Amino acid sequence: MNKKNFKILIVDDEEHFLLLLSNVLDEEGYSIKTAKNGGKALQILEQYTPDLILTDLRMPEIDGLRLMETVKARHPDIDFIFITAFATVESAVDAMRKGAIDYITKPMKNLAELRIIVSRVYEKRRLLQENIALKEEQIESLPPLDLIFSGMDKVYEEVRAVAPTDTTVILYGETGTGKTLIAKVIHILSGRKGLFVTVNCAAIPDTLLESEFFGYEKGAFTGAASPKKGKVEVAHEGTIFLDEISEMTINLQAKLLRVLQEKTFERLGGIESITTDARVITATNRDITQLVREGRFREDLYYRLNVFTIHIPSLRERREIIPKIVHYMMNKIARKLGRHITDVAEDSMKQLTSYSWPGNIRELENTIERAIILSKKDILHISLPEMNIKTERFEDLNIKSMEKNTIEAALKKVSGNRRLAAEMLGISLRALQYKIKEYNISEDSQR
């Protein structure tokens, strides 16, 4: 919302004061209408719905309080600011208890006060509209719930049970299993009016993660030309989702613990404590208890986070739903790319259901998109890379050995280029680097 779309109705029986307020707020860029009394204001409201009504408290026939009661019975979202003389400030305060948002006194000695008070109402309305638009966008972007939780009835029951609470949730699952999507579902089902905000702890460099998380004040560091809100502040009254929480540094873990315990924090370079009502949901593909034993994750933070755990199964653990996911993704991606694809070839579907998918749903989606881009026919033929053509049941293989072999094969295919290998596997570069270290994959085996 820009200022020209912010509509204000000014009501005052003193014509010179009505003109003064109208000129000041018109110069600020707002859309203004005026009325000389309460009756005229009600006539205007039959065809005009303002965001804010700025009205005198004392007027003949219909006073400001009665005007507010009448208007709010039909338009409860319209904000009211009262204009009152110094002698009747107590009446204005009483009106605020009944629903007014603020008041100003006359005669006005400082027009800056008027600009500031109106600006606050405008900012509140602008942010509310932006939040609603973002939440609608988040909801519309979700696949159907029966698809998200296909083959995961237990997970769906757990999500529905925990969503309406403020309980901290930790999602365990391999990379690419849809943990972000499930966290978003929890947020939407919670009914929280704030935003769903994601922080990928593995994707942001350690030196930037703290400022991204808490924000900063002007001059906090070189290049901080203006203050910036952090993700925790943006997520107030909503949900902050900390993906790959196991990658968070010990120093930042201590600050997160304070947010969970006290619901307060400070921006970098700031001294003012900011309160947050953000719900925290975290996710990891690693065993945090092992990291606690190794001294790489705070034990007190772990117990704060690990209140309600949900384990997300891998795609290979629910192979029977792969065709359903494939057809949904095929239709969605084909529409996005403007392609006409009607089905998947039978032999291709057999390959898709036989493969182990170490990158899970993310890798599957990348594979389908690539196939659609290259396809010249209505029937989609998917040719998996050589390293992928393994028809053995995954359950008969050693998981770690399989994962190591797959990573080595991907690295060899791209001559050791880790970024390309990560994209091929459908995992983050940081996750790949961790796996290379975990499995002690040598430089020679990467070429």
Instruction: Give the mean pLDDT of 61-66.
Output: 87
Task: Provide the angle, in degrees to the nearest 10, between the axes of the packed helices 64-74 and 89-97.
Answer: 20
Which pLDDT does position 369 carry in this prediction?
92
Same domain, 284 and 164: yes
178 shares a domain with 280? yes
293 and 189 assigned to the same domain: yes
pLDDT at 63: 86
Q: Does residue 95 share a domain with residue 200?
A: no
Q: How far, in Å, are 68, 81, 275, 294, 447 from residue 73 at the CA level?
A: 8, 17, 33, 62, 73
* CB half-sphere exposure, 344, CA atoms < 13 A: 26
Whether 194 and 114 map to the same domain: the answer is no
Average pLDDT on 167-188 reads 93
Q: Is residue 382 located within the same domain as residue 299? A: no
Q: Give the model's pLDDT for residue 395.
A: 40
Q: pLDDT digits over 287-310, tens only?
A: 899 999 999 999 999 999 999 999
Mean pLDDT, rounded, for 177-189: 92
pLDDT, mean over the chain: 86
User: Does position 392 have pLDDT exceeding 50, yes or no?
Assistant: no
The whole-number pLDDT of residue 394 equals 39
Task: Report how many domains make up the chain.
Answer: 3
Whether residues 89 and 157 fall in one domain: no
pLDDT score at 391: 38
Give the distance, in angstroms, between the CA of residue 219 and the centroid of all CA atoms in the same chain.
Answer: 27
Identity of the amino acid at 403: E
Mean pLDDT of 231-243: 94
Residue 263 and residue 152 in one domain: yes
Q: Grade residue 225 by pLDDT with cuts at 50, 70 and 90.
A: confident
Q: Could you read off the pLDDT of 253-290 as tens digits, one per residue?
A: 999 999 999 999 999 888 889 999 999 999 999 889 99
172 pLDDT above the threshold of 60 = yes
Residue 52: pLDDT over 70: yes
CA 439 to mean position of chain CA atoms? 34
Of 311, 335, 360, the residue at which a domain comes to its end is 311
Q: Please give, one letter per residue, the 3-state secondary structure of the chain.
A: CCHHHCEEEEECCCHHHHHHHHHHHHHCCCEEEEECCHHHHHHHCCCCCCCEEEEECCCCCCCHHHHHHHHHHHCCCCEEEEEEEHHHHHHHHHHHHCCCCEEEEECCCCHHHHHHHHHHHHHHHHHHHHHHHHHHHHHHCCCCHHHHCCCCHHHHHHHHHHCCCCCCEEEECCCCCCHHHHHHHHHHHHCCCCCEEEEECCCCCHHHHHHHHHEECCCCCCCCCCCEECHHHHCCCCEEEEECHHHCCHHHHHHHHHHHHHCEECCECCCCCEECCCEEEEEECCCHHHHHHCCCCCHHHHHHHCCEEEECCCHHHHHHHHHHHHHHHHHHHHHHHCCCCCEECHHHHHHHHHCCCCCHHHHHHHHHHHHHHHCCCCEECCCCCHHHCCCCCHHHCCHHHHHHHHHHHHHHHCCCCHHHHHHHHCCCHHHHHHHHHHCCCCCHHHC
CA distances (Å), 158 to each of 169, 171, 187, 353, in order?
11, 11, 13, 27
CATH of the domain at 79: 3.40.50.2300
Last residue of a domain, one of 86, 112, 134: 134
Residue 216 sits in which domain range? 142-311
pLDDT at 433 over 90: no
Q: For residues 418-423, give the mean pLDDT.
A: 81
Q: Region 6-28: what's the mean pLDDT?
A: 91
What digits encode the pLDDT tens for the residues 336-376? 899 999 999 999 999 899 888 888 998 999 999 989 998 88
Q: Are residues 78 and 158 in the same domain?
A: no
Evaluate if residue 386 carries a pLDDT over 50: no
Is the model more confident about 131 or about 208? 208
Last residue of a domain, one of 94, 117, 134: 134
214-223, 297-306, 425-434: range with lowest mean pLDDT: 425-434
- pLDDT reported for residue 397: 54
Distance (Å, whole) CA 384 – CA 394: 17
User: Greatest CA separation found in the chain?
Assistant: 90
Strand 279-284 relative to strand 169-172: parallel, antiparallel, unpaired? Answer: parallel
The confidence score (pLDDT) of residue 182 equals 95
Q: What local confidence, expressed as pLDDT, does residue 88 receive?
A: 62
Residues 196 and 303 in one domain: yes
Same domain, yes or no, for 35 and 173? no
Residue 120, pLDDT score? 85
Q: Is residue 293 domain-shared with residue 161, that is, in the same domain?
A: yes
Q: pLDDT of 86-98, one tens digit each? A: 656 677 677 777 7
The answer on pLDDT for 388 being more than 60 is no
pLDDT at 393 over 70: no
CB 282 within 8 A of CB 322: no
Instruction: Please name the helix (run of DSSP H) or strand (run of DSSP E) that holds residue 362, with its range, or none.
Output: helix 360-374
What per-residue confidence (pLDDT) applies to 132? Answer: 60
Burial code of 73-94, b = ≥16 C-beta within 10 A, e = fewer?
A: eeeeebbbbbbbeeebeebbee
Residue % of the chain over a pLDDT of 70: 91
**So what's the pLDDT on residue 301?**
95
